[in-house]
């Protein structure tokens, strides 16, 4: 109760000051994601440890819809703002995850695959989803380029609402999906690349940090909750895939003093080249899998970790 009162007080002070002075620089939010693909992803003991961290007074766990206001620059968020997503159809969501998060008043958005609801006893039913929706859980949709239109129709038919939040099933956006999301007035969509969200980002290419399964260590959670966006522009390659392997990857830093270190899913440290005052080129080894993941990190003047992540298909 004390933490709740303290947070409300800080919110009031923050927005009072924000209404008088020039907007503060807290235009960011860290989105953490529980993605369920096998039995080990939802470790309830670990999630309880996560909740102890998330309920500390310094963090402001806020509904995902706050991102919409952040992206259109109509609202700032307090520093250390956090959003929670759960991507799963597993029955464990309504039986275990929802009770754990709701008992500490932690809002989250659930992303479902509409085609597999009701398909076996391990998955939630539409009635389960409706119960969650009626109790304040926002419901989003997770799909693929092939099934997106059909999945949206199933979602609308069973929940009588249009989805406004989307997650790419394979983690990487496609041009087809972008067009469909726009046609259906989808508000935001998440990829699988890591990093905090700032108000300069494309609303259909938002990063998030996976904190389930092998990524669930509490030390990692504490690290990502401290991150701020490494603000970059002119990212190349522009699209969702690389045709040269290793790629010709680079970006322009908004702050030329924040030269990063970069790492890849090849488990190696990449070579970072400064080719002008603020233009960075990153040289990597050849990517061997289907996806190329590049994470670049730096520090700001207050020693806060700055993070930018990219994710591409590797064209053979």
* Domain definitions of the chain by residue range: 25-228, 233-314
Those residues of the chain that have pLDDT short of 50 are 2, 9-25
* Per-residue pLDDT at 299: 97
Query: What pLDDT does 74 receive?
Result: 77
pLDDT for res 39: 66
Cβ of 300: how many Cβ atoms within 10 Å? 13
**8-19 residue pLDDT tens:** 544 444 444 343
**Count of C-beta atoms within a 10 Å radius of residue 293:** 18
Compute the C-alpha angle 43/47/49, nearest 5°: 120
User: CA nearest 270: which of 309, 215, 222, 304?
Assistant: 309
DSSP 217: -
Nearest Cα to 313, choosing from 290, 295, 289? 290
Helix (H, G, I), strand (E, B) or coil at 183: helix
* CATH number given to 25-228: 3.20.20.370
Q: Specify the fold of 233-314.
A: Immunoglobulin-like (2.60.40)
Round to whole Å and give the CA distance between 249 and 258. Answer: 17
Structure tokens at 127: 């009635």
Q: What is the pLDDT of residues 115-144, one digit of tens each?
A: 999 999 999 999 999 999 999 999 999 999
Can you say whether the dihedral through the CA atoms of 230, 231, 234, 239 is positive or negative?
positive
């Amino acid at each position: 109760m004390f933490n709740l009162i303290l947070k409300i007080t800080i919110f009031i002070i923050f927005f009072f000051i924000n209404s008088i002075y020039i907007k503060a620089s807290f235009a960011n939010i860290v989105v953490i994601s529980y993605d369920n693909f096998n039995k080990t992803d939802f470790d309830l003991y670990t999630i309880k440890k996560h909740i102890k961290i998330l309920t500390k007074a310094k963090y402001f766990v806020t509904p995902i819809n706050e991102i919409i206001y952040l992206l259109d620059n109509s609202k700032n968020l307090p520093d250390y703002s956090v959003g929670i997503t759960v991507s799963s159809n597993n029955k464990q969501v309504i039986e275990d995850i929802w009770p754990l998060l709701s008992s500490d008043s932690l809002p989250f958005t659930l992303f479902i695959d509409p085609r597999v609801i009701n398909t076996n006893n391990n998955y939630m039913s539409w009635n389960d989803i409706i119960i969650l929706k009626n109790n304040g859980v926002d419901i989003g949709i997770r799909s693929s380029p092939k099934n997106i239109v059909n999945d949206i129709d199933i979602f609308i038919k069973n929940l009588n609402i249009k989805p406004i939040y989307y997650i790419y099933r394979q983690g990487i956006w496609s041009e087809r999906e972008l067009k469909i999301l726009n046609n259906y007035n989808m508000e935001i969509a998440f990829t699988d690349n890591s990093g905090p969200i700032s108000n300069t980002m494309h609303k259909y290419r938002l990063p998030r940090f996976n904190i389930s399964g092998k990524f669930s260590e509490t030390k990692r959670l504490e690290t990502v909750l401290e991150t701020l966006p490494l603000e970059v522009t002119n990212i190349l390659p522009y699209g969702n895939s690389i045709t040269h392997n290793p790629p010709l990857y680079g970006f322009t830093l908004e702050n030329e003093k924040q030269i990063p270190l970069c790492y890849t899913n090849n488990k190696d440290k990449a070579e970072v080249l400064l080719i002008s005052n603020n233009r960075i080129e990153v040289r990597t080894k050849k990517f061997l899998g289907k996806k190329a993941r590049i994470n670049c990190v730096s520090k700001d003047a207050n020693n806060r970790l700055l993070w930018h992540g990219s994710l591409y298909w590797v064209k053979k």
